[in-house]
Amino acid sequence: MKPLIAGNWKMNGSLAANEALVKAMLDGLGSQTPGADMALCVPAPYLAQLQSLVSGSAISLGAQDVSAHEQGAFTGEVSATMLKDFACRYVIVGHSERRQYQGETDLLVADKAKAALAQGITPIVCVGETLAERDAGQTEAVVKRQLAAVIHAVAHCTSEIVVAYEPVWAIGTGKTASPEQAQQVHAVLRAQLAAATQHPERVHILYGGSMNAANAASLLAQPDIDGGLIGGASLKSADFLQIVASAL
């Protein structure tokens, strides 16, 4: 299984900046086939622009959120069928920033994952503990609870999801989980997947949280770390390509 390196641009970008960034990435890749699958999860208004920029390239398109509803009176929401219209292959669900600022619950995140799968879009399900939860020894319990809600909702489709372990204390802080700390949690998640699907090894479990060009190789060398979900470093073409190269 090829590793997956996905960028999460969060609420960053402009038409001009996006074009320059993606062109620099594609120039950097040249004609080589990267050793990792690559994706960029961009703000919804830029999906059409990105669809055209990455068309025919090694980079897949992703969104950062999706509605749990199919259609209707849900002002401001974007449905999975709309994402499909722009050839989105992935969508992030349950990012800690949405759990924290938009009050998204485990149940809602699970419904979003299900809505994405119903349209053939792979949900990148984010789980992760806060610093207070880690200090209280609750890391395992928290990530297992978050993943259990999704497994319960998507049932036999569990092998089709991507999981991203993103410790909240490591996001945007420059504090990365050590490879050993991350691997420990990834192993717990793999065991949980093994109880729910016959092919737990087919599920990518990504690490996210201050992953960068310097620390990517040691994280990606861990047996249960199958890729990365990259925030800040995905806004710099050289750094993002370096992380992709580290996944070889």
Measured at the CA of 35, the angle between CA 173 and CA 198, to 5 degrees, comes to 85
CB of 39 closer than 8 Å to CB of 22: no
Catalytic residue among 129, 166, 186, 204: 166
Nearer to ligand 13P (CB atom), residue 120 or residue 172: 172
CA distance 121 to 113: 9
- State the minimum distance, in angstroms, from the CB of residue 71 to ligand 13P: 27
Q: How far is CA 111 from CA 23, 149, 153, in A?
A: 35, 9, 7
Q: Which residue is nearest to ligand 13P (CB)?
A: 231
The residue assigned the tokens 């999906």 is 47
Question: In terms of CB distance, is 115 or 229 closer to ligand 13P?
Answer: 229
Residue 95 appears among annotated catalytic residues: yes
Where does this chain bind ligand 13P (CB under 6 A)?
Answer: 8, 95, 166, 171-172, 208-211, 229-233
Minimum CB–partner distance for residue 175 and ligand 13P (Å): 9
Nearer to ligand 13P, 8 or 139 (CB): 8
Smallest separation (angstroms) from ligand 13P to the CB of 96: 7
Nearer to ligand 13P, 47 or 196 (CB): 47
At 67, which amino acid appears?
S
Cβ 41 to ligand 13P, closest distance in Å?
A: 8
CB-neighbour burial class of residue 132 (10 A; exposed 0-12, middle 13-18, buried 19+): exposed
Q: Is the dihedral of CA 168, 202, 180, 140 positive or negative?
A: positive
Which residues are registered as beta bridge partners of 172?
A: none
Q: Helix (H, G, I), strand (E, B), or coil: what is residue 32?
A: coil
Q: Are residues 133 and 139 in contact, defined by beta-carbon separation less than 8 angstroms?
A: yes
**Catalytic residue, candidates 95, 97, 133, 204:** 95
The verdict on whether 166 is a catalytic residue reads yes
Nearer to ligand 13P, 38 or 229 (CB): 229
In angstroms, give the least distance from the CB of 50 to ligand 13P: 17
* Residue 49 CB contacts under 8 Å (≥ 6 apart), including other chains: 15, 18, 19
Active site residues: 95, 166
